[in-house]
Amino acid sequence: MRLDKFLKVSRLIKRRTLAKEVADQGRITINGKVAKASSDVKAGDELSIRFGQKVVTASVDAIKDSAKKEDAASMFTIIKEERLEKIDPAFIDDED
């Protein structure tokens, strides 16, 4: 299944167009490799998605063409969620 469709059906990202944009920006990896929206996702893959200052890592448990809201959560397991450190603008030295 395409990555953008999986993200929509599993409800990790609410809209397929948004999933495509996030993937095209290089913010999603599958098994450690940067993925495009058209990348193939299968059960057992590990996805890492960067949402702003947060990185969510999830493993793909099942692939379904469509899923009800209650069943969508069974398609993946969240492995970890981590916050990225913000860079304090005061430390950026751009006064050359």
Q: Which positions of the chain have pLDDT values less than 70? A: 86-96
pLDDT value of position 91? 47
- Side chain identity at residue 28, one-letter code: I
pLDDT for the residue numbered 87: 57
Domain 3-83 coded CATH 1.10.3430.10: no
pTM summary value: 0.79
The mean pLDDT of the chain is 86
